[in-house]
Amino acid sequence: WIRFFSESGRFVRYDERGCGMSDWRPGELSLAQWADDLGAVVDAAAPDGPLTLLGISQGAGTCIQYALRHPERVERLILYGGYARGVFHRGTPDAEATYRAIIELARVAWNSDNPAFREVFTSRFIPGGSAEQHEWYNELCRRVVSGEAAAALMTARAGVDITDLLGEIRCPALVLHGRDDQVVPIAEGRLIASGIRGAEFVELDSCNHVLLEQEPAWQRFREAVTAFLRP
């Protein structure tokens, strides 16, 4: 089987071993393009009725953008670890300086044989992970994207700002966020929830941007999503 994954403004094909079958050169990097990609997936899937969209991290903005374009297609939104404004729009100079440094580090050292450079990235996403999980994530990063593309992606994400569009969402929304998320501060999750009319907000006891199955927050996430999806 072949699955399609779009994180860089274009579709990249992977075979059953997870091996990329197209080049690493990203196309257009913008929220509009990511919403177009999502639309292409929805069109290909041809669902029978309205959708429930799950948006994680950058995917939250993508799902919001798609829901605004196609309100008749979207029944609910579930947004985890998301943000409506990138770090360049948060008014946090120290965080922005740190992020710019990480971008440059990715550009020059991402593909190094020494995983220490990618560990800077990994340790922010799963600070509570085991050594084995860190090793897996480091290798995953190296395999799926080049340093130049990673830097370009991070730059594009940091420039997102759709805070003024949140009030236009009319479907039910569940917003979940880790209390001590090291990648996207919980304040950004609260901002989304406060901007979408009637949105439910769930704070998770976690420091991980990528939830790990052994932590209690994962079970809490599952319970909240299951309850939200009940008719």
Checking if the pLDDT of 183 tops 90, the result is yes
Write out pLDDT tens, residues 100-110.
Answer: 999 999 999 88
Write out pLDDT tens, residues 14-46.
Answer: 444 444 444 566 678 899 999 999 999 999 999
CA–CA separation, 103 and 99 (whole Å): 6
Query: pTM for the full model?
Result: 0.87
Checking if the pLDDT of 228 tops 80, the result is yes
Three-state DSSP state, 140: helix
